[in-house]
Structure 1
Amino acid sequence: MLSFASAFFFGLKPIKLYFFGRRSPLLQSVTTFLLFFLLLICARPAFAGDAQDYLQELIEASRQNELSQQRYWHLLLHYRPALLGGVVSEADPAGFFLAPDGKTNPQAELEATLAAFFSEELVATSKQPAQCAFIARYHWLKTELGIDPTRLPEQQCGRFDAWYAALNPQSMTLIFPSAYMNNPSSMFGHTLLRIDQKDQTEQTEILDYTVNYAANVTTDNGVLFAVLGITGGFKGNFSTIPYYLQVRKYSDMENRDIWEYRLNLTEEQIRRMLMHAWELGNTAFTYYFFKQNCSYQLLPLLEVADPDLHLTDSFWFWTIPADTVRLIASVPGLVGEITYRPARGTQIRQKRDHLSSEERRLLTEIDRNTSAAIESEPFNTLPIDRQAFLLDIAYDYTRYQTAKEETGPEAIKKKQRLLLARRSGLRVQSPAVRFEPTTVPPEQGHETARVGLGLGWREGEPFEEIAIRPAYQDLLDDETGYTPGAQIELMNARLRHYNHQDKTVLHSLSFANIISLFPLDPLFKKPSWKVSVGLETLTGSPCRNCRYFALNAGTGSALEAHLLRRELIYFFIEVDGNYGGFFDPNYRAGIGGTIGVLADLASRWKAHLFATYLSYPLGDRSHDLKMSLQQRVTLQKDLALRVELNRRQEFDRRDFLNEALVTVHFYF
């Protein structure tokens, strides 16, 4: 309803004012201004009252339609079922919720959001009007409630429009950098989303932006980093980062191959996803290495793009990046083209595979003494194109060496100048090399969780065994889709029932058992290493079937051979510590080593032979010797048969304890 002043202003004819008998333009202008000012003062309560009435209409409509209970609203607010009923949001409350109890009350948050849409007050961490700070909420509620723009005007969101225009999205690509063993948060791989701009080519797509979720790390201490990451001591944030920086980090610095999965999303789905990504700049999430990690937090973005996707429902206890890739790839029609981007180290190795033995020797010499090698007779007698190829590989290797630094050491910079100067004089192109994946895409590998059912025999006594391993891979598992020579086992539990004793015992519980075998290489010099922590069982005297806490770590080396198909021969020098009540005095600590060989006997058949000797001069003085032959045959992708023959000598016993075990493994 218009106020009296507005009716006067809009409905009556202008009053003619005269000054000394004549119409005064000055007085007429002043009068018009005063009338307009009076209109603003008097009309404001009427307009405010209309806004309040319309807000109540919208709230009532949202209640009738139960919008706060709809899946899409829960997706936008990241609500999950709470343990004691109701829901709770995984997002941190600061800057993301407009209602005081919005983290647990979807209806209150919806009503507070609607109220905020009528205001130009700057809200949230990004300090924007609510319509712009929470633009995905606004557009969804506008559609669901049929908001009248004449009663609730749509505000201009210049910051969002500029951001979206800069992204210029045409499609989205899921990015999977493979596992990186030297970082606990990346041991299982990583995922992020690339925003593919319009009119980009294969050569320029590296300039695209990415949507990435990562922990905000607050410590450089490795042990504290692991503890805080596991227990939720870090906050995680979303960010948009140029793809070339991600490639530099993962491919060049960490030497991780990258798989790219083009997603078949419509233009509207992409816009919904990016509007929600914009909103997520207002909040943070508690980061857990094994659950709410980089891969988990990307799934709600995909669900916002397409609410028919139910991705997060599959991950209740842990989230492994390869499992999220496998799930996304399994959705009919969601994934289009799959592209392999080799790491810089992979490119160098595959180029080196095209060298003769003499050329490989020369490459090593160029690395050791560049100036002498490129002036030597063996190098200069090579065909020009082969010289160019060697120089290109050598230069690539210097870039690999300096990838973690803005500028490398002076010695490497000098080497680069020598290589470039010599290469510039050879006006030929190097032979083209087609890079082949070192393994198949991760979604084609076996599932990461495993359960085993086994029958065994120990010193004349039969037993049954059930083994449960939530994650991830051991040295004997099929490496298809996984990093070769890498073992990461978490919470691997083995229960046994001994028939003669009619007794069920926990044979072992491995909290973590990690091994990285890196073959010796003239160019890529990395040590092999291992670490394990868990509960183990003493199988003989002085305490049969007694459990103790064990911590082991070692470093060593590995050698790759091809006598049959592929073999890894390795050794470790180890330190080992045990704690248990039956030790005298309660512990023992010592040093020893392991030597072993992993052999691919056939495409589905693999064997592992190893021996470990440990001597404990501290605490309960003793020694252990263990020898084992294990074989695995893959029956199907997620089904394998394993046979083990073990011999163990403990606590200076002269006789060996012998054991045989046959296990069927199911991966899920």
Structure 2
Amino acid sequence: MLKRLAYLALCACTPLYAAPHIDNQRLQQLANDPFWISLGHYEAGKLGGWRSYVSDDKFFLAPDGAHHPDAELRATVDALYAPLSLGDKHPQCVYPARTRWLKDQLNLTGLPKAECTEFNQWFKDVAPHSTVMIFPAAYLNSPSSMFGHTLLRIDQADVQSNKTALLSYAINFGAYIEGSDNSILYAWKGLAGGYPGLFALVPYQEKLSEYRSLENRDLWEYRLNLTPEETRRMVEHVWELKQIKFDYFFFDENCSYRLLELLQVARPGLQLTSQFPLTAIPTDTVKAVKEAGLVESIEYRPSRERELLDRAKALDPEEQQWVLQVSADQTQLQSPTFKALPKDRQALIIDAAYRLERYRANGLERDTSRSQRSFELLRAINQNPAPELQVEQPELPENGHESRTWQLGAGSRDDTAFAEYGLRMAYHDLNDNSPGFPLGAQIEILQLKLRQYEGNHWQVQQLDLANIRSLTPRNDLLKPWSWQVGGGLERVLGKHGDETLVTHVNGGAGGTWQLGENLLGFALGTLRVEHNNDFAAFVSPAAGFNTGLLWRNPVGNLSLEAKGDYFANGEIRRSISLNQQWEISRNLGLRVSAERAFSHFASPVNEVMLELKWYHY
């Protein structure tokens, strides 16, 4: 609003260039053009009309521009003829993408020629020529990163030939956070739209360091076949979005959705955002970009953590202990015992020790002693270099199953048969089809299960708001915590032998260990808070455990799990369960499950079920 008033005030006292007359038919034709709709980030309203995703009034030149693309177009044309005394605030300088398109479409003549010094220098520094979509893979130990992320890298003309990608710029869209909200508050506000979202153009090296080092996330680089002209057009629009606020939601109006909008600006006619009416999970948007024929090549960059673990794979337990000793004290390099090792084994140990030292330094302020240790290790590497590390490329993340799951099951609870119908909005559990997902990762959001018992008796069996588990194995070098958190509604054994629907929140932490190549064992201590109508108290706390095995086998994933909750009011609830999924195809799975549940309130109950899972967006 202030921007509009500023240049209108100047217009009142300065001679204006004459804006052309546009007849209403031509005006409506341009206002409905897909490119103009993309520039305004408009979507068709549910009850007709338009609304813009932009939540910032200063983006619009017309008072009702957020809902009327035609009014915004008319206001933009008029504004292009504003006096040059506005300098870098001239609408031609603020809206370069709009200006270029309207000049071409309307063959505008007699436009005042604004200098646009700030924009021209910025555009020259960026020097856009080609575009690469970057996908930092999901990192479960960070709630903000549990679905992965996407951003765009803008390369100069000589990047590929000179291999200077680190000098490129990155376009990123993310939540703007003031202060230091904790992870739980961050996740909640992100789900509820409690943060504004902003675009930013930053040096790619900064983002690369952040994702590969600080968050230990693998990076996938998808080079797009956008032409230099399409890339420049998109970057011009990014300038228009500088410090412009959008609403931000984790599941739909997020980083990936906004970048799809930018690609539609780059290449008008692409239909990318229309594929995501409810959710826009990053892996799904990567698939959409790939299926649209935009990807010409893919490059993989492993995280520092993956590089360290891959280097350590070649070391036996005794050699891994040497890695810890050498990393902590470089004088061990001169010890007779170490020097007695074969030279090739010494090289591997020293290289792993250096990687461990750099990994531990991630996110920490520079420390003189740490820098000295790294220097000594580097000098030792130069004297006895290890073979070049070749990290095996994992499955492409977009090759995993689709994010939404429909479930149809049939089973028996003691002697009573039932059918079960389920829908999960997102997007993977421990037993789901495994390609593209790490073993031990689970992220379930908004899952509903309904049961139909004999006699046409229906009931809500389960409603998960969130159910997240991170079972990352510990080893001699790295000792990450495993954790889980969940909440919602579920059926538990009741006092009269029936099932009671309770509200609960639970969480836990512990450890996971690699027992074999594709076998994990885990043990977690847990806490639970439950509202149960069978209990006297409004809410009742419980402490417990959750332990089991997870095996990725030739046909799918198998889990064997035991858990218990010991309530403060004396109730004890325990269960043991077995689940095996057969991967029929990428988006189809068949699961058999068996469970025996115990409670002080009721006799033990046995349940078996056969379930078909269809992964579908």
Residues 323, 82 of structure 1: alpha-carbon distance in 2 compared, 3 angstrom cutoff: same
Q: In structure 2, what residue type is equivalent to 1:429?
A: P
Match of 1:74 in 2: 37
Q: 1:553 to 1:147 in 2, by over 3 A?
A: same
Which residue of structure 1 lines up, in the alignment, with residue 505 of structure 2? Answer: 551
Partner of 1:466: 421
| Superposed displacement of residue 193, structure 1 | 0.2
Partner of 1:450: 405
Q: Give the whole-Å Cα distance in 2 for the aligned partners of 1:555 and 1:65.
A: 59
Q: Is structure 2 residue 196 aligned with structure 1 residue 235?
A: yes
- Structure-2 residue corresponding to 1:31: none
CA distance change for structure 1 residues 198 and 665 in 2, over 3 Å: closer, same or farther?
Answer: same
State the match for 1:651 in structure 2.
600
Q: Is the 8 A contact 2:84 2:114 kept in 1?
A: no
Q: Deviations over 1:261-288 (max 9, x none)?
A: 0000111111111111111115110111
Q: Contact (CA 8 Å) 2:559, 2:578: kept in 1 or not?
A: yes
- SS at the partner of 1:66? helix
Structure 1: distance between partners of 2:111 and 2:347: 68
Mapped to 1, the partners of 2:583 and 2:148 lie a distance apart of 24
Instruction: Find the aligned partners of 1:577 and 1:594 in 2 and give their Cα distance.
Output: 15
Q: Secondary structure at the match of 2:284?
A: helix
Query: In structure 2, what is the Cα distance between the partners aligned to 1:236 and 1:147?
Result: 34
- 2:434, 2:556 within 8 Å by CA — same for their partners in 1? no
3-state SS of 2:265 partner: helix
User: Matches of 1:74 and 1:169 in 2, distance apart?
Assistant: 23
Cα displacement string for residues 413-461 of structure 1 (whole angstroms, at most 9, x for unaligned residues): 453344245445x2x4321121212x31111111011011111111111
Shift of 1:586: 3.3
**Counterparts of residues 412-451 of structure 1 (less than 5 Å):** 412-423=370-381, 426=383, 428-437=384-393, 439-451=394-406
SS at match of 1:95: helix
Q: Which residue of 2 aligns with 1:575?
A: 527
> Matched residues in 2 for 1:652 and 1:527: separation?
34
* Change beyond 3 A, Cα 1:406–1:314: same
**1:457-606 superposed matches below 5 A:** 457-499=412-454, 501-542=455-496, 544-562=498-516, 565-602=517-554, 604-606=555-557
Instruction: Tell me whether 1:104 sits opposite 2:52 in the alignment.
Output: no
The Cα offsets for residues 483-539 of structure 1, whole Å up to 9 and x where unpaired, read as 33110100111100001x421100010110010001111111211001110101124
Following TM superposition, by how much is the alpha carbon of 1:155 offset from its aligned partner in structure 2, in angstroms? 2.4
Alpha carbons 2:134, 2:153 under 8 Å: kept: yes
Residue 625 (structure 1) aligned with residue 591 (structure 2): no
User: Quick check: 2:545–2:563 contact (8 Å CA) kept in 1?
Assistant: yes
Name 1:213's counterpart in structure 2: 173
From 105, 118, 137, the equivalent of 1:144 is 105
Deviation at 1:154, TM superposition (A): 3.4
SS at match of 1:281: coil
Contact 2:260-2:272 at 8 Å conserved across structures? yes
Q: Distance in 2 between matches of 1:184 and 1:289?
A: 10
Q: 1:368 to 1:155 in 2, by over 3 A?
A: closer
Paired amino acid for 1:583: F
- Mapped contact 2:199–2:243 kept (Cα < 8 A): no
Q: In the superposition, relative to structure 1, how do residues 240 and 380 fare at CA in structure 2: closer, same or farther (>3 Å)?
A: same
* Larger relative contact order (CA 8 Å, sep ≥ 6): 2
Residues of 1 paired with 2:83 and 2:251: CA distance?
41
Uncovered stretches (5+) of structure 1, i.e. residues with no partner? 1-43
Q: 1:198-228 deviations in whole A, cap 9, x for unaligned?
A: 2224742122110111111124232332222
Residues 493, 601 of structure 2: 8 Å contact kept: no
The amino acid of 1:608's aligned partner reads S
Whether contact under 8 Å (1:627, 1:646) holds in the other structure is yes
Q: 1:114 to 1:478 in 2, by over 3 A?
A: same
Which letter maps to 1:144?
Q
Return the alpha-carbon distance in structure 1 between the equivalents of residues 379 and 89 of structure 2.
55
8 Å contact 1:236–1:286 — kept in the other structure? yes
Work out whether residues 296 and 324 of structure 1, in 8 Å CA contact, stay in contact via their aligned partners in 2. Answer: yes
Pairing 1:169–2:124 present: no
- What is aligned with 2:610? 662
**Aligned residue runs from structure 1 range 312-327, under 5 A:** 312-327=273-288
CA distance in 2, matches of 1:449, 1:514: 16
For 1:575 and 1:72, the matched residues in 2 are separated by 53
Q: Deviations over 1:44-84 (max 9, x none)?
A: 99x958x44xx242x32774562112221111001112233
* Structure 1 pair 62–359 and aligned structure 2 pair: CA distance change class (3 A): farther
**Which of 588, 599, 607 pairs up with 1:639?**
588
Of 335, 338, 342 in structure 1, the residue corresponding to residue 295 of structure 2 is: 335
Letter in 2 for 1:347: E
1:34 maps to which residue?
none
Q: Is the 8 A contact 2:432 2:581 kept in 1?
A: yes
Partner of 2:137: 178
Shift of 1:543: 6.7
Q: CA deviation at 1:364?
A: 2.8
Secondary structure at 1:533 match in 2: strand
Matched residues in 1 for 2:125 and 2:181: separation? 38
Q: Deviations over 1:353-375 (max 9, x none)?
A: 2335543332133235442x312
Q: Distance between the aligned counterparts of 1:575 and 1:429, measured in 2?
A: 49
Alignment-derived partner of residue 153 in structure 1? 112
Alignment of 1:359-398 (within 5 A): 359-371=319-331, 373-398=332-357
Quote the offset at 1:309 in angstroms. Answer: 1.0
* Larger Rg belongs to: 1
CA shift for structure 1 position 566: 1.1
1:543 touches 1:582 (CA, 8 Å); kept in 2?
no
Specify which of 553, 560, 575 is matched with residue 609 of structure 1: 560
Cα shift at 1:351: 1.6
Task: State TM-score, norm by structure 1.
Answer: 0.86
* Letter of the 1:566 counterpart: N
The answer on whether the counterparts of 2:494 and 2:534 sit within 8 Å (CA) in structure 1 is no
Q: Is the 8 A contact 1:273 1:304 kept in 2?
A: yes
Is the contact made by 1:510 and 1:533 (CA closer than 8 Å) also made in structure 2?
yes
What does residue range 200-279 of structure 1 map to in structure 2 within 5 Å?
200-201=159-160, 203-222=163-182, 223-279=184-240
Tell me the distance in 2 between the aligned counterparts of 1:247 and 1:517: 25
Note the C-alpha offset of 1:634.
Answer: 0.3
**TM-score with structure 2 setting the length:** 0.93
Match of 2:257 in 1: 296
Q: Quick one: distance in 1 between partners of 2:114 and 2:518?
A: 65
Q: Is the 8 A contact 1:455 1:662 kept in 2?
A: yes
CA distance 1:280–1:645, shift in 2 (3 Å): same
For residues 168-198 of structure 1, the C-alpha deviation after alignment (integer angstroms, 9 at most, x for no partner) is 2221000000112233221100000001122
Q: Secondary structure at the match of 1:594?
A: strand
List gaps (5 residues or longer) in structure 2: 1-10
Q: 1:665 & 1:456 partners in 2: Cα distance?
A: 15
8 Å CA contact 1:493, 1:510 repeated in 2: yes
1:120·1:130 contact (CA, 8 Å) conserved in 2? no
Amino acid at match of 2:37: H
What does the per-residue CA deviation read over 1:13-36, in whole Å, with 9 as the maximum and x for residues that have no partner?
xxxxxxxxxxxxxxxxxxxxxxxx
Q: Any idea what SS the aligned residue of 1:478 has? A: coil
Q: Say if 1:386 and 1:611 are closer, same or farther in 2 by CA, change over 3 A.
A: closer
Amino acid at match of 1:277: V
State whether residues 489 and 501 of structure 2, in contact with CA within 8 Å, keep that contact through their aligned partners in structure 1.
yes
The one-letter code matched in structure 1 to 2:248 is: Y
